[in-house]
Chain A
Amino acid sequence: MASTGTTPHVKQHWANQLMDWVNARFPLTDLWESQWGKYIAPTNFNFWYYFGSLAAMVLALQIITGIFLTMNYKPDANLAFASVEYIMREVPWGWLIRYMHSTGASAFFIVVYLHMFRGMLYGSYRKPRELTWIFGCLIFLCLMAEGFFGYLLPWGQMSYWGAQVIVNLFAAIPLIGPDLAIWIRGDYVIGDATLNRFFAFHVIAVPLVLVGLVAAHLMALHETGSNNPDGVEIKKQPKDPATGLPLDGIYAHPQYSVKDVFGMTVFLFVFSVIMFFAPEMGGYFLEYNNFIPADPLKTPAHIAPVWYFTPYYSILRATTTELLYVLSVGLVVLVAFYWREIPRGPWRQLTLGVTAVALVGFYFIEAKVWGVVLMGASVLIFFLLPWLDRAPVKSIRYRGPLYKSALAVFVLAFIVLGYLGTQPPTPTFTRIAQVGTLLYFAFFILMPWYSKVDSFKPEPARLTK
């Protein structure tokens, strides 16, 4: 492109001339090369590295199907349910677009959960990728907001009562709670005002933030470079004199472009099977009660959120007065355990102050409120991972049995909590959920200890297979 203007005798191809014209006005080639075209990635990406590109594809799918759904959907308490049925029965191909969107919502969470698990396997959140991780956690929050707001829109029984239960959680907050719940609903009960504003959040406010965060997530990633299954920084390696690339680096394009396209193909195959043959997924993707129009005077016998929220919902329900007793003891033991690690002076006073406030609060504020607090904490605690992990290595390949067992227990607790959240509470289930809640939080809170005292294998200088 440097030849334009300097060697007028050589006639350039018109496409190159067009690119030169654009690049003189907008850094298109630079942008493409820095973000993907000349991006250098480690050579040893494996199965777990499909889910980032898959998440991006599902995001695009949700936006496109969402736009077409808004063309026929009516955000009005009297019309919403019927407009969804209209899309399903009378709009040409409406059923396909709607099932793409509803299956896409569950697919999004599956892909994102696996993507996050990859980060935990290989320590991708560790320095210098903390901001990539934080942007990712913010994306996850946006996704949860999208799921929650979007689920009200079909205006079925589960839409209505799910929103009722969740908004009433805010009413549990002392002092401001009841007014806050009214402000969120825009009415004294979930109603037309609530539906209309949830529609606004779902189709414009949250997606705008989400897309911006995805851009930030990718820019941060492409600044530091990708982590890999060995957790070894390829940027610190000597350069290959022949290519000028790090010894274990390779251009992401076309190497990983092709890999990602293959992954997308397999994913879309599975996605299509679910979408065409089991779009309700046995009541997990679309709950049966949601095929009944919302009725403010009739509560369904069993209210359960969609599967992707159930681990957190379980934690909410598991927080009873009994659990608070256990937490009080646990908190004191925890502070004693970490006491020597806390720097003297204001940090220790702060720790004691927070502990005292929490202990008093456990007895004077009802358990429901603490359930809301714990449910929020169970999501927000992911933000802290880069600083909770004190291991000298990143990847699970070079960590010892402590971290491996802790991660296994965490995954098990997450799945069990997820299952229990779909079930009506029984005394036994509540007890199991309480144990699961404690294990869930122990994974994070004890991490500064077990990630440090674990045994480790030396990291290699070069990537392994």
Chain B
Amino acid sequence: MSNPSEATLPPGAAGAEDVDAGRRRMLVATCVAGGAASAAVTWPFVASMQPSARARALGAPVEVDISALEPGQQLIVEWQGKPVWIVRRTKGMLATLTKDTAQLADPDSKRSEQPAAAQNEYRSLKPEFMVMVGICTHLGCSPTSRFTPNDPTMGPNWPGGFLCPCHGSKFDLAGRVYANMPAPDNLPVPKYAFLSDTKLIIGDDSKGA
């Protein structure tokens, strides 16, 4: 059988020269069409594993009106089931962020989670407005605000920031964790954008104004 041109071929076995070119072309075309159709049919199955309409609605970006937020105040909104904080920082608050960096675990937010545009000394798009997910990176408790400088419960020289009530992790006003605290990383900053001067969208950074 190694040489198809030998006369020992059984009757009916087609040698290379007996191929019906028209039928072979039809066969190849049918296989290609069938293969393409089969491949296309996998799409609905792959796509069915995407978040459902309900999950998308619950996880959709949220718009926040920040026109009523006064300097030094904090606003908490819910996004994807998580508390998101918006803090309007005063000039004095911002000034503390550049002073205390030696005591921070990750002052430049190198291993912390934030959009690239917010990886700066203020961890925000606009220095005045801080947006972060209020869930401690240690065990997931939600820290509380301790904005008053030199708060007697916070130890000496407290510049203002956040305290996790569960295990005592301390964070500065940019959500950066102090060194040697249970929490390993800074509070995460979600994707967000300014739709206007008084309107924020959280969970989406593609429609910035």
Contact = CB atoms under 8 A, between A and B. Distances in A.
Given A191-B55, A297-B135, A197 B81 contact: no
Contact of B59 (A183, A187, A298): A187
B140 A297 contact: yes
Nearest to A296: B81
A189 B80 CA distance: 8
B141 interface: yes
B55 A299 contact: no
A298 B139 contact: yes
Interface in A381-440: none
A299 B139 contact: yes
Nearest to A367: B111
B52 interface: yes
B81 A189 contact: yes
Contacts of A301: 139
Given A296-B81, A298-B140, A299-B140, A186 B52 contact: yes
Given A182-B50, A197-B49, A296-B81, A187 B139 contact: no
A197 B140 CA distance: 26
Among all A-B residue pairs, the 10 with the closest Cβ atoms = A188-B59, A299-B140, A187-B55, A298-B140, A188-B80, A299-B139, A297-B140, A187-B51, A186-B51, A183-B49
Interface in A176-194: 182-189, 191, 193
A183 B47 CA distance: 8
Contacts of B141: 297-298
Nearest to B110: A366
Chain A interface size range: 10 to 19
A193 B51 contact: yes
B202 to A, nearest CB: 13
Given A296-B81, A297-B135, A186 B50 contact: yes
Contacts of B139: 298-301
Nearest to A179: B50
Nearest to B142: A297
A206 to B, nearest CB: 15
A189 B59 CA distance: 9
Interface residues of B, number: 13
Instruction: Find the residue from A186, A188, A297 having the highest chain B CB count within 10 A.
Output: A188
Interface string A101-118: 000000000000000000
B208 to A, nearest CB: 19
Contacts of B80: 188-189
6 contacts: A183-B49, A186-B50, A186-B52, A187-B55, A296-B81, A297-B140
Interface string A275-301: 000000000000000000000111111
A44 B15 CA distance: 50
A241 to B, nearest CB: 34
A182 B51 CA distance: 7
A190 to B, nearest CB: 12
Nearest to B83: A297
B188 to A, nearest CB: 12
Interface string B49-63: 111100100010000
Interface string B32-52: 000000000000000001111
Contacts of B135: 297
Nearest to B46: A183
Interface in A134-157: none
B139 to A, nearest CB: 5
A86 B51 CA distance: 30
Interface in A159-199: 182-189, 191, 193, 197
Interface string A289-327: 000000011111100000000000000000000000000
Contacts of A185: 51
B125 to A, nearest CB: 20
A173 B57 CA distance: 26
A20 B141 CA distance: 72
Nearest to B141: A298
Given A197-B49, A296-B81, A186 B55 contact: yes
A193 B138 contact: no
A187 B54 CA distance: 10
A183 B50 contact: yes
Contacts of A184: 49
B51 to A, nearest CB: 5
A296 B141 CA distance: 11
A190 B168 CA distance: 27
A188 B51 contact: yes
Contacts of B50: 182-183, 186
Contacts of A300: 139
A357 B52 CA distance: 38
A416 B42 CA distance: 43
B50 to A, nearest CB: 6
A297 B50 CA distance: 23
Interface in A38-61: none
